Amino acid sequence: MMIIRPIRQEDFSALREIAEESGIGFTSLPVNEALLQKKIDNAESAFNSQVTQPGSESYLFVMEDTNTGRVVGTSGIEAAVGLEDAFYHYHLSKVVHASRELNVHNTVDLLTFCNDYTGVTEICTLFLREEARRGLNGRFLSKVRFLFMMEHRQRFSETIIAEMRGVSDEEGRSPFWEWLETHFFSVDFPTADYLTGIGNKVFIAELMPKYPIYVNLLSEEAQAVIGQVHEKTKPALRLLKEEGFDCRGYVDIFDAGPTVEANLAHIRTAQASRKLPVRIDDQQVKYGSSHFVINTEVVNFRAVTTAVLIKEDEHIAIISQQAADALNVKQGDMVRFSPVSFCD
C-alpha cells in the first residue's frame, strides 16, 4: 500500500537519491546535502507550527511503499512565496505599435520582469520515482496536496500556483536561458538553476534586464519554448489542467516554463472533497469506490488511496481496517476524501 506522510529526518538518504534522479531544471531539489537537510528541518518545523495565516512554512511530503518501506516520491507546498526571498517571473503581454498615417499596425509580445505572485501558495517538488509510475500513484501524489490545503485552509493562500519545468535537454541546455546568458548573464543554465535552488538569488536582481524584453528580438529557438514544458513535465501539467489550473501569462525567468494558477475553492479535488466520520467495516466497504483519503491531522498527517462507501442516511464514510490503520484513525474519527472517478 502507498501512503503519503510528512517527511522525517530518516528520509534524508531517500531525498538525496530523488534529488539526483530528478535532474537539472528541478530547482526545488538541488543536489546539495546542506540544503536538503534544511528542507527536512523546515518541513518538520512547518508541520509542528501553530498557524493562523500563511507564512514562510514549507511542507514536504513523501510517498512510502508500506510493503518495502521505500520512499518513492515527494510532493511539497510553500505556504506563501516571496516573503523572505524574492520570487521572480516574466509576464507575457502585448504592446501595439501603430501609425495611422503610415497605415502600420504591429502587435508585439513583451516579457516584463515582475514579483506579482508574492504571498501566494505554491505547490512544488512533485517527483515520482520510475519504479512507482503506475496506476494512480502520480495522481495521488499530486492531488493529496489539495485535500491537505482544503482541510487546513488557514495555513494557505486562496491563490495556488505551480511552476512547470520548461524545455531543456539532457545536458541542461535551455534555449531560452542561452539567449539571456549570451546577452546578460554569462552563466550557464545548470549553474543559474543550482544557485537559485540553494537560495542564492542576488545575481538575478543584479544582472536581469530591468526593462521589458521584446520577444521578437529573442532567438527563434528561445521564442519557440516560451510557455512550453519539459517532456517529463507534460503529465503533471495535464493533471493540473484537469483540476482547473490555467496559465495567466507568467513564465519562469530561466527556462520560460509556464506558471499555472487556480483558486483553492475551485480546484476540482478540493471542491469535490467531503469530510465525514468513519466506520470500519471490511465487508460493507467492498461495495465502495476508490477515493483519495486523508486524516485531519497535521503533524501525524496520513493519506491513502482506498475504497470508501458513503452512507448518506447515516452521514458516515465506511473504510477498511487496513485503510484505518494506514490513516491512524479509529471508529468515529473524521476523514476528508475526494473521489478518484471524476478525474479519470
C-beta of residue 111 within 8 angstroms of C-beta of residue 92: yes
- One-character DSSP codes across 258-307: EEEEEEGGGSHHHHT-EEEEEEE-TTGGGG-EEEEEEES-STT--EEEEE
Take residue 73 and report the three cell numbers written for it. 516520491
Q: Scanning the structure block, which residue is given the C-alpha cell 465502495? A: 288
Strand partners, 291: 306, 339
If DSSP codes are grouped into helix, strand and coil, which group holds residue 104? strand
Active-site residue among 230, 266, 291, 315?
A: 230
Q: How far apart are CA 189 and CA 314, in angstroms?
A: 58
Sign of CA dihedral 221, 222, 227, 233: positive
Q: Which amino acid is at 281?
A: D
**Is residue 230 annotated as a catalytic residue, yes or no?**
yes
293's grid cell: 483519503
β-strands 121-128, 104-114 pairing: unpaired
Q: Are 341 and 290 in contact (CB under 8 A)?
A: yes
- Residues 200 and 202: their CA atoms lie apart, in Å, by 6
- Quote the CA–CA distance of 329 and 327 in Å, as a whole number: 5
The residue among 14, 39, 215 whose CA lies nearest residue 127 is 14
Pairing status of strand 89-99 against strand 104-114: antiparallel
- Cell 507546498, residue? 77
Residue 186, sorted as left (phi over 0), alpha (psi -120 to 50) or beta, turns out to be: left
Q: Which residues are catalytic?
A: 230
